[in-house]
């Protein structure tokens, strides 16, 4: 099966009250861990590549690894650009086999966001084959690549703007800010984890049937925080989004849930533990194998307990 867009996946997810996992990929072991889990559970999948991942791994290698995953798994897989920050970057990905791109112009004014998003949509939709576009309205706190968005700069999505934004841009899905954030420190110590479900519900009321995306949706699982801290790491006060909230979001209009930090932590915790317990081992396969298995276990957990997309391929 060739790469697919997210159109059909999102339609079924919206109607079925579940979400598709969008996992960030940077190397072969990460891709294999994710795909092994999805294959076993027959779950549809979005593999996403950030600008940083392109710089790290070289886009061509990542595209070819994803093509290998298609052959190996026969699953519906969408290849998505995460946080594209320019028309040129989106165009390059569209021209090189991606089936979905995000244009993240959420830091621009409303009018500038609309103009840039529409430019990408026009190019993507007229491409042969057509590519789908995710846009963002509202701004998440946290660190993406080289950009750090402080709590003061972050802003919730204004539901009053969404109909005009979607109508004028013709985007295919919309990322909104309801209190999630990127990275491993989502809530301050002592701060209660809270998401603005009232905003999500109002957006869904104004955009019936339209797929909503949740970025910054890692849960920062205690088992990985504890292992990292036990084996020489230091992640005090790491916090994530409670899984019950993600399940609720998935049952509503959220069709795509973005996860990167949890993958990083699963991999790092496993490698730290391995290195500490086997200090004389030096074959990378000895620690990358367990790291790949940890990613597979994590993604299995997400598909079954958070996303609800097992058996939906
Ligand atoms: O939201 C951003 C993702 O976690 C990707 O991170 O830009 O460091 O690859 P990255
Ligand atoms: P996390 O940092 O919560 O994993 O979010 C990832 C993300 O939104 C990628 O776009
Ligand atoms: Zn993101």
- For 79-102, how does the pLDDT look when each residue is reduced to its tens digit (9 = 90+)? 999 999 999 999 999 999 999 999
Closest CA to 172 of 225, 229, 132: 132
* CA 101 to centroid of ligand 1, rounded, Å: 14
Atom of ligand 1 nearest to the CA of 261: 4
pLDDT of residue 154: 76
Q: In this structure, which ligand is nearest to the CA of 136? A: 3
Instruction: Tell me if 113 CB under 6 Å of ligand 2.
Output: no
What residues are paired with 22 via a beta bridge?
46, 258
Each residue's pLDDT tens digit, 221-264: 999 999 999 999 999 899 999 999 999 999 999 999 999 999 99
Which member of 8, 72, 82, 172 is catalytic?
Answer: 82
Residue closest by Cα to atom 1 of ligand 2: 216
pLDDT of 149 reads: 75
How many CA atoms lie within 13 Å of 1's alpha carbon, on the beta-carbon side? 14
At 216 the pLDDT is 98
Output the residue whose Cα is nearest ligand 1's atom 1. Answer: 144
- Quote the mean pLDDT of the chain: 96
Over 80: is that where the pLDDT of 281 sits?
yes
| Contact of 62 with 53, CB cutoff 8 Å | yes
Q: What is the mean pLDDT of residues 108-129?
A: 98
How many CB atoms within 10 Å of residue 279?
A: 8
Counting atoms of ligand 1 from 1, which one is nearest the CA of 183?
Answer: 4
Estimate the crossing angle of helix 162-169 against helix 197-206, to 10 degrees: 50
Ligand 1, from 89, 145, 241: best to mutate by most atoms within 8 Å of Cβ? 145
**Is the predicted pLDDT of residue 153 greater than 80, yes or no?**
no
Residues 6+ apart with CB under 8 A from 65: 25, 28, 31
Q: What would you report as the CA-atom Rg of the chain, rounded to the nearest whole angstrom?
A: 19
Phi then psi dihedrals of residue 45, to 5 deg: -145, 145
What confidence tier does 141 reach under pLDDT thresholds 50, 70, 90? Answer: confident
* 24 Cβ closer than 6 Å to some ligand 2 atom: yes
pLDDT beyond 70 at 15: yes
Extract the tokens encoding 168.
Answer: 């004028």
Q: So what's the pLDDT on residue 81?
A: 98
Residue 168 has pLDDT above 70, yes or no: yes
Q: Is the CB of 104 under 6 A from ligand 1?
A: no
Active site residue 82: yes
pLDDT at 152: 66
**Residues, the chain:** 313
Mean pLDDT of 46-57: 98
Q: Token digits for 133? A: 């576009």
CA of 60 to the centre of ligand 3 (A): 22
Q: Which residues keep their CB under 5 angstroms from ion ligand 3?
A: 215
- pLDDT value at 164 more than 90: yes
50 lines ligand 1 (CB under 6 A): yes
Residue 56 CA, distance from chain mean position: 18
pLDDT of 142 above 90: no
pLDDT digits (tens, 9 = 90+) for 293-308: 999 999 999 999 999 9
pLDDT of 145 over the 80 cut? no
Structural domains present in the chain = 7-307 (3.20.20.70)
Tell me the pLDDT band of 144, cut-offs 50, 70 and 90.
Answer: low
No. of H helices and E strands in the chain? Answer: 12, 10
Which atom of ligand 1 sits closest to the CA of residue 260? 4
Place 41 in a pLDDT band, splitting at 50, 70 and 90. very high
Decide whether any atom of ligand 1 lies within 6 Å of the 83 Cβ. yes
Residue 143 in contact with ligand 1 by CB distance below 6 A: no
Contact status, residue 18 vs residue 308, Cβ threshold 8 Å: yes
Q: Tell me if 158 CB under 6 Å of ligand 1.
A: no
Task: Give just the sign of the alpha carbon dihedral 204, 206, 209, 215.
Answer: negative
pTM over 0.85: yes
């Amino acid at each position: 099966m060739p790469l697919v867009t997210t159109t059909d996946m999102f339609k079924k997810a919206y109607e079925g009250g579940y979400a598709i996992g969008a996992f960030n990929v940077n190397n072969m072991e990460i891709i294999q861990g994710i795909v092994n889990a999805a294959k076993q559970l027959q779950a549809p999948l979005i593999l996403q590549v950030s600008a940083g991942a392109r710089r790290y791994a070289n886009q061509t290698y990542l595209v070819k690894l994803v093509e290998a995953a298609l052959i190996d798994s026969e699953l519906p897989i969408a290849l998505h650009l995460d946080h594209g920050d320019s028309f040129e970057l989106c165009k390059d990905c569209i021209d090189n086999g991606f089936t979905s791109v995000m244009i993240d112009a959420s830091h621009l004014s409303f009018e500038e966001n609309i103009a840039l998003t529409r430019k990408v949509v026009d190019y993507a939709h007229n491409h042969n084959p057509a590519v789908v576009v995710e846009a963002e309205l509202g701004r998440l706190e946290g660190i993406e690549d080289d950009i750090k968005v402080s709590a003061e700069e972050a802003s919730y999505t204004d539901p009053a703007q969404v109909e005009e934004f979607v109508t004028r841009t013709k985007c295919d899905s919309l990322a909104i800010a309801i209190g999630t954030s990127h990275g491993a420190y989502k809530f301050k110590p002592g701060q209660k984890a809270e998401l603005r479900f009232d905003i999500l519900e109002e957006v869904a009321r104004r955009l019936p049937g339209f797929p909503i995306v949740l970025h910054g949706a890692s849960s920062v699982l205690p088992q990985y925080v504890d292992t990292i801290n036990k084996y020489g790491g230091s992640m005090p006060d790491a916090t994530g989004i409670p899984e019950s909230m993600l399940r609720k979001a998935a049952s509503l209009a959220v069709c795509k849930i973005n996860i990167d930090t949890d993958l990083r932590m699963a991999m790092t915790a496993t490698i730290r533990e391995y290195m500490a317990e086997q200090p004389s081992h030096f074959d990378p396969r000895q620690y990358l194998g367990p790291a790949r298995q940890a990613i597979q276990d994590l993604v299995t957990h997400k598909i079954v307990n958070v996303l609800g997309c097992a058996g939906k391929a």
